[in-house]
Amino acid sequence: MNKKETMYNNSENIFSACQECVDTLINGIKRMVPHYHQSITNVQQECLRAYENMFDSSIALQKDCIEKTGISTNIPETTSKIIRYSANEFAKASSIHNQMVLATIDTAQQNIKIFNDSMESFVKMSKNFLRS
Q: For 1-57, how does the pLDDT look when each residue is reduced to its tens digit (9 = 90+)?
A: 555 555 555 547 899 999 999 999 999 999 999 999 999 999 999 999 999 999 999
| 82 pLDDT higher than 80 | yes
Exposed e or buried b for every residue in 26-58, given b needs 16+ CB within 10 A? eeeeeeeeeeeeeeeeeeeeeeeeeeeeeeeee
Categorise residue 13: left if φ over 0, alpha if ψ from -120 to 50, beta otherwise: beta
Alpha helices for the chain (secondary structure H): 3-10, 14-69, 77-131
Q: What mean pLDDT, rounded, does the chain reach?
A: 92
pLDDT level of residue 116 (50, 70, 90 thresholds): very high
* Residue 21 contacts residue 30 (beta carbons within 8 Å): no
Q: How far is CA 115 from CA 11, 12, 46, in A?
A: 30, 30, 36
